[in-house]
């Protein structure tokens, strides 16, 4: 790298990095935003934070694939923020973006934490929803630093299948069919019924440990009955802020197939 390049204050090149991530935005919003005037609709405070932290991460040694994930998460965050502003919502104005004597704001810390999660996320289908989480935190004044960090760390811990389980359970009515109307059965009716795989049940158990799902009875019950699970307040909050209702029904079909609830003869 030349001396002039070292001193160049312009944002680093991650212009089209997000384009290759599965289901990602085109990267155009991110590229234009980092390069100049586009993205102004999200406001100076949020725009400065995303540009600043995106540039800082990109200045570190990261692989091309990690670069793509960071760019993709930022793309989704920017696009969602622009949509929310068009819908009449306002970016938070409670000091979240105010920098202290160390030139760091609460927003800097939260956005950096979320982008590092995206950078290291091998299950790349999660990156889109991490972007939505960033955007929504930047609009929600009810979320302090501790709550935001808890949401980000939980999103990091969850697998893509666990994210889909959460989305599935909160949209269960859409998958409910007429043959799922009774929980009363004779023991003979479950003979030959294959139990859900252990790895799938383990992921359900982990969601309970994360305090996202409640009701131990549902876990030990057979056949597995997802309607017995209660989603915690924190689980519903995570669902809303990550906008998991956006997950296509087709992506939830695997979860529906693995849940044996109602798949027996009465």
pLDDT for res 201: 82
pLDDT for res 22: 46
pLDDT for res 148: 97
Q: What is the pLDDT along the chain (266 residues), one digit of tens a residue?
A: 444 444 544 444 433 444 445 444 544 334 444 565 545 678 889 988 998 898 888 788 788 888 888 889 998 999 999 999 999 999 999 999 999 888 899 999 999 999 999 999 999 999 999 999 999 999 999 999 999 999 999 999 999 999 999 999 999 877 765 444 444 445 555 455 566 778 888 898 899 899 998 865 555 555 567 777 889 999 999 999 999 999 999 999 889 888 764 444 33
**DSSP one-letter code for 260:** -
pLDDT for res 152: 98
What distance in Å separates the CA atoms of residue 88 and residue 84, rounded to the nearest whole number? 7
pLDDT for res 120: 94
pLDDT for res 92: 95
pLDDT for res 188: 53
Residue ranges with strand state E in the chain: 213-214, 230-231
What is the token pair recorded at 114? 């979320």
Contacts of 142 (CB under 8 A, 6+ apart): none
Contacts of 146 (CB under 8 A, 6+ apart): none
Alpha helices in 138-232 (DSSP H): 145-157, 160-169, 198-209, 216-220
State the distance between the two ends of the chain, measured CA to CA, in whole angstroms: 72
pLDDT for res 256: 85
How many other C-beta atoms lie within 10 A of the C-beta of residue 266?
11
What is the token pair recorded at 120? 């290291």
């Amino acid at each position: 790298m030349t001396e002039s390049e070292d001193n160049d204050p312009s944002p680093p090149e991650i212009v089209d990095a997000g384009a290759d991530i599965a289901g990602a935005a085109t990267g155009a919003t991110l590229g234009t935003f980092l390069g100049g005037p586009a993205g102004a609709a999200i406001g100076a405070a949020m725009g400065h934070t995303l540009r600043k932290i995106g540039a800082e991460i990109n200045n570190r040694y990261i692989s091309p694939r990690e670069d793509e994930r960071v760019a993709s998460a930022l793309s989704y965050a920017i696009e969602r923020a622009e949509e929310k502003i068009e819908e009449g919502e306002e970016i938070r104005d409670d000091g979240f973006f105010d920098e202290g004597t160390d030139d760091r704001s609460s927003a800097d810390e939260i956005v950096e934490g979320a982008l590092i999660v995206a950078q290291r996320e091998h299950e790349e289908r999660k990156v889109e929803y991490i972007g939505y989480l960033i955007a929504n935190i930047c609009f929600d004044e009810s979320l302090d630093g501790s709550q935001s960090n808890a949401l980000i760390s939980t999103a990091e811990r969850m697998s893509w299948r666990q994210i889909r389980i959460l989305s599935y359970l909160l949209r269960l009515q859409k998958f409910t069919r007429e043959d799922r109307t009774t929980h009363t059965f004779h023991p003979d009716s479950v003979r030959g019924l294959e139990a859900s795989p252990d790895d799938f049940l383990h992921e359900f158990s982990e969601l309970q440990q994360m305090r996202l799902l409640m009701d131990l009875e549902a876990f030990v019950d057979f056949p597995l009955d997802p309607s017995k699970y209660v989603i915690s307040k924190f689980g519903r909050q995570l669902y809303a802020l990550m906008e998991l209702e956006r997950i296509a029904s087709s992506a939830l079909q695997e979860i529906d197939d693995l849940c044996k609830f109602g798949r027996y003869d009465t």
